[in-house]
Amino acid sequence: MKLDDLFADFLANGTGRALVLLAPELLLCATIIATLLWRLLNLDRYVPVAAIATLGVVVSLGWAGWQLQASIFQLQPAEILFTGMIRLDRFALFLRVYLLLFLVLQIVLTTLGGIPDQEDSPDFYTMLCGAVVGLLLMTSAHHLLLVFLALEMSSVPGYVLAGFLKGRRQSSEAALKFVIFGSASAGLLLFGVTLICGLAGTGDLSLVGSRLEAVISIDGATLANPALRTLLLALVMIFAGMAFKLSLVPFHFWCPDVFHGAAAEVGAFLSIASKGATLALLVRLVLGMVAGGELEAFWNLLAQGLGIIAAITITFGNLAAFGQTNIKRLMAYSTIAHAGYLLIPIAVLAIPALAGVDQIASTVTVAPSTSDVLQTQGVVASSVAVRAVESMLYYIVVTLFMNLGVFSCLILVRNQTLGESIDDFRGLASQTPVLAVAMSLSLASLIGLPPTGGFVAKLMLFSSLYDAGAKLPLFYAVLIVGVVNILLSLLVYLKLFRAMFFDQPVEGAPPVRIAPFSMATMFVVTVSIPVLSLGIDVSGLSRLSRDAAVSLWDQTQDESGKTSSQVSQLNETPVAGESMQGNSVSGGLNNGDHQ
């Protein structure tokens, strides 16, 4: 393809319209520039930078919310933008609203907590908004290039945020550990991504799965096949990179140290927004790469591996959280445990029979945006996958409110007592009942006790896990581990309940006094209400997240013909040595002839 053609193609694809659709991201970029210029022009003496950042992010959130509701009511199909780089469906729009809502709450929280002072606040908000731009791109990535790019866009500002308290030894140590482990895992991930690109001969996530299947099935899916070994290596490397971001067990060691050393505000960012977007990216990656046919047994094995890692992560997180006295460290281990729970839907999606790989080929039509995904074949099968994604989305929305509840209470208490250990929470109920109640509500949700959102989220997760167990019995074991861990986590958080409600304050400790009608109280109450209401009124958010989940399987507007024909073609010729891509790719790999 010539450069001229490329350029003409780029313009013909409706770049102008694509830019409008990407307005929330662009508005965030504009906010970054505005916050930087604001201090340069010395305007921050009159209007604080936080106000400008809030304004920009609220406008962006409004735009994203409007796009989401328009997409739901007008049943807009998924769209591929920027020559296949971005897939904008309701899944992406939903997570966009989620991330921007988090950003608004986070900026308000930083103004209450006062961690970036007047002098440093432009830097802080620049990094925060920059990281969120990366996270937004992660949720809509549709090409392996963008997967890596967006991951790095969100990680690099994260390293800076971890080391934001420059003069503190703990903070700089946390940042160094974060940046070293982070860049190492990013390197691994990149190497894995390049191997996948080479094997499949494309980076387009809608094609990778079927191309991989075509390449592997030439020599059969056994370990004697070098292509399969390469694929396995690449997948392990990619998983290592993603597991680092999610803090899953073999790659979790950075998490407690970084949470401990960095400010609590940064911990909130890492445990909420970063996790949510990484999960979304993992959903897209798994759905893009999972393949049936010859590779079905291989992927079933991988799915079971993911399930085992999830079980280990949950158990480890809860056991390690048990002995902690620092709340930030405790929350780090709690984040690890919840990352384990959230890995379960990904494991369910990695089962080819559930991910709808074969069903799409056999029925071709995936009814968009209705609750019954596949009318004819495999109704039960694919609706399990949809329910898994739905429960994941519900879970991360609940996580947003409950983790923010804990972190905001922690920040408010820290500002009064200058400490972040459990002892600083002793006697909180007698001093400021509002904080104690909000905190215990969030903790109850973290455990998964009935009237809170955490209970519903776990219930939805377990029900999709139970259905997946019908396919792979190992998932029943994961289910049992998950349920037992609820009891374990109860023991972990019991200490905090006791400290807040039954213990007397430490003698000589400064009392926690927060005015009942201050901004701080209002913020904590605002964050706590959804924790409760999501546990009582399930239908609203559940319908929204189901709509978002279903759209992952939507055929896209301009590429629908290509995608469906690709899959069905492979289905007709299981050998696939005759299919065109199979030939060109394998020829490239084995003989090295120039295309």
Partner 1 sequence: MSLGAYLAVSAVLFASGLTCMMTKRHALGVLMGVELILNSACLNLIAFARYTSLGIDGQVFALFVIVIAAAEAAVALAIALNYYNNFLTVDVDRGDELKR
Residues at the contact surface with partner 1, assessed by CB under 8 A:
1, 6, 144-145, 148-149, 152, 156, 159-160, 163, 166-170, 172-177, 179-180, 183-184, 186-188, 190-191, 193-195, 197-198, 201-203, 256-257, 260-261, 581, 584-585, 588-589, 592-595
Other CB atoms within a 10 A radius of the CB of residue 111 amount to 17
Of 55 and 184, which CB lies nearer to partner 1 in the complex structure?
184
Of 195 and 232, which CB lies nearer to partner 1 in the complex structure?
195
Point out which residues pair with 421 in neighbouring strands.
Answer: 326
Locate tokens 């009124």: which residue? 537
* DSSP-derived secondary structure letter, 326: B
Least spacing, CB of residue 261 vs partner 1, in Å: 5
Least spacing, CB of residue 163 vs partner 1, in Å: 5
Query: How big is the CA angle at 459 (ends 330 and 136), to the nearest 5 degrees?
Result: 65
Least spacing, CB of residue 91 vs partner 1, in Å: 24
Least spacing, CB of residue 511 vs partner 1, in Å: 28
Of 136 and 524, which CB lies nearer to partner 1 in the complex structure?
136
Least spacing, CB of residue 323 vs partner 1, in Å: 10
Contacts of 454 (CB under 8 A, 6+ apart): 398, 402, 444, 445, 446, 447, 448, 531, 535
Point out which residues pair with 227 in neighbouring strands.
Answer: none
Take residue 297 and report the two structure tokens written for it.
């047994």
Q: How far apart are CA 67 and CA 81, in angstroms?
A: 15
Least spacing, CB of residue 405 vs partner 1, in Å: 25
Least spacing, CB of residue 572 vs partner 1, in Å: 21
Locate tokens 């974060």: which residue? 178
Least spacing, CB of residue 221 vs partner 1, in Å: 20
Locate tokens 């109450």: which residue? 525
DSSP per-residue letters across 161-193: HHT-STT-HHHHHHHHHHHHHHHHHHHHHHHHH
Contact 84, 78 (CB under 8 A): no
Q: How far apart are CA 554 and CA 539, in angstroms?
A: 23
Of 98 and 254, which CB lies nearer to partner 1 in the complex structure?
254
Least spacing, CB of residue 26 vs partner 1, in Å: 19
Q: How far apart are CA 207 and CA 222, in angstroms?
A: 22
Of 265 and 547, which CB lies nearer to partner 1 in the complex structure?
265
Q: Which of 117, 115, 103 is nearest to 53 (CA)?
A: 103
Of 158 and 352, which CB lies nearer to partner 1 in the complex structure?
158
Least spacing, CB of residue 202 vs partner 1, in Å: 7
Q: What Rg, from alpha-carbon coordinates, does the chain have?
A: 24
Of 148 and 299, which CB lies nearer to partner 1 in the complex structure?
148
CA 518 → CA 51, 68, 411, distances in Å? 18, 33, 15
User: Sign of the C-alpha dihedral, residues 560, 65, 282, 366?
Assistant: negative
Of 176 and 459, which CB lies nearer to partner 1 in the complex structure?
176
Least spacing, CB of residue 183 vs partner 1, in Å: 5
φ and ψ at residue 87, rounded to 5 degrees? -115, 115
CA 185 → CA 192, 295, 428, distances in Å? 11, 27, 41
Of 6 and 575, which CB lies nearer to partner 1 in the complex structure?
6
SS3 of 141, please?
Answer: strand
Q: How far apart are CA 355 and CA 351, in angstroms?
A: 6
Of 167 and 516, which CB lies nearer to partner 1 in the complex structure?
167
- Backbone dihedral region of 419: left (phi > 0), alpha (psi from -120 to 50 degrees) or beta? beta
The secondary structure element, H or E, covering residue 280 is: helix 275-289
Contact 272, 398 (CB under 8 A): no
Of 284 and 328, which CB lies nearer to partner 1 in the complex structure?
328
Least spacing, CB of residue 584 vs partner 1, in Å: 5
Least spacing, CB of residue 595 vs partner 1, in Å: 6
Take residue 205 and report the two structure tokens written for it.
């996530």
Of 175 and 361, which CB lies nearer to partner 1 in the complex structure?
175
